[in-house]
Amino acid sequence: MSKIDHALFSAHEHALEKEACPQCGSDLQIKNSKHGPFLGCSAYPSCDYMRPLHHHGDITKILSGSECPECHRELAIKQGRYGMFIGCTGFPDCHHIESLSHKDNTNIPCPSCHKGSLVERQSRYGKLFYACDSYPKCKYAVNEKPVPQACPDCGWGILTEKKTAAGLRLVCPQKKCGYKSEPL
């Protein structure tokens, strides 16, 4: 029979220590909500202290040689609630942020406002869509890839590529129109 080495367990004794609530002195415990885990006071509801378990916006790497276009401080790669992004190190004084992923500019003019152009974006769930780069002034967006060709029925500025059982078709994104090309 082998002996248990108790030195292996002493390194993790701090994990069992409880943290005291800064408001009332009771123990903090990990609780869950629909937004994820958090630390809350064990004396709830008489004490309503809580704090996030994970801090969002933590700096993971400072981008040396980069400069914020608003306040001229360095930029950093940060971890946020929707993933990684580039943000100013002067936060909260400066709120400049940039997407970490490169936006694929389609060079197709927006058919709604005629000022911006459609760019590829990604939702927080990872789905690709195409939206006007003049957002929030123009909120036009389509889910399928746009094609710079006007609709022959209604004259709308773009068509979209849609995969169907019959094959790839060009479809008008206007719901009132309903135009579908023959399979390509």
Return the domain boundaries, the chain. 25-51, 58-99, 105-171
* Residues in the chain, total: 184
pTM: 0.49
The rounded Cα 170 to chain-centroid distance in angstroms is 30
Cα–Cα distance for residue pair 50/176, rounded to 1 Å: 50
Backbone conformation region of residue 89, classed left if phi is above 0, alpha if psi is from -120 to 50, else beta? alpha
Per-residue pLDDT of the chain (184 residues; tens, 9 = 90+): 567 766 666 555 555 567 889 999 898 888 888 877 888 999 998 999 988 876 555 667 888 888 888 898 988 888 776 677 888 888 888 888 887 765 566 788 999 998 888 988 888 787 889 998 888 889 999 999 999 999 999 989 899 999 988 889 999 999 898 898 888 7
Cα–Cα distance for residue pair 159/157, rounded to 1 Å: 7
> What are the angstrom distances between the C-alpha of 125 and each of 40, 82, 106, 121, 168?
28, 9, 22, 11, 25
